[in-house]
Amino acid sequence: MFKYFDKIFKPRAIVYSYDKPKTIIEEKIAEVFAKRSKFFSEVRIYGSFTSNETFELTFTPLLGANTYGVNYSSTLIGRIIQASDSSTQIEIKTKPSIAFVILLIISLIASIISLIVAIIYLLELLIATPTGSSFWLIIMLIISPAFIIWFVNISNAGAIDRFEMFVDNPLRQ
């Protein structure tokens, strides 16, 4: 189970290669930052260059659910690497939103509390079978962190999909 936490805390890098100089790549990415969403557009794009060779992109659905200001979208962090004079690579990683990290921590704390309650219940009632406590232990210990990791994977896949749609496809043309 702990190997799945690497997707949250140590995301894997994906490298895209282009046969274009670095300046053209930076211009195309700056064009993506400048795009403004229309009224019934599919997605809002927020992005900026954080240094000469790194940038951040966040994609938020325009007509999504009302989350009262909480952003569940993953942030895509990209690094532009000039491999040679005519070829450039973009290395991207996704970073989950802080809301998912907080939810994961809360679910792990609830799992530990549930485990302690189940152990106390077992010690007090050695004769009776603690099926209710065991049921909640299984739910809190396994299923709730698994659901949060699943939602993080969906958010990360969405960010990578949007990168390919708005940045990678125009650069390949």
φ, ψ dihedrals at 17, nearest 5°: -110, 140
pLDDT of 140 higher than 80: no
The whole-angstrom separation of Cα 73 and Cα 99 is 9
pLDDT of 126 higher than 70: no
Sheet containing 88-95: order of strands:
14-18, 88-95, 75-82, 54-61, 43-49
CA distances from 43 to 19, 132, 160 (A): 28, 44, 14
Most confident of 16-30, 52-66, 69-83: 16-30
Indicate the pLDDT class of residue 123, thresholds 50, 70 and 90.
Answer: low
- pTM above threshold 0.75: no
Place of tokens 């070829």: 87
Tens of pLDDT, residue by residue over 23-39, are: 888 888 888 877 765 55
Residue 8 confidence (pLDDT): 66
- Structural domains of the chain, with CATH: 2-99+144-172 (3.30.530)
Indicate the pLDDT class of residue 131, thresholds 50, 70 and 90.
Answer: low
Estimate the crossing angle of helix 144-163 against helix 98-124, to 10 degrees: 170
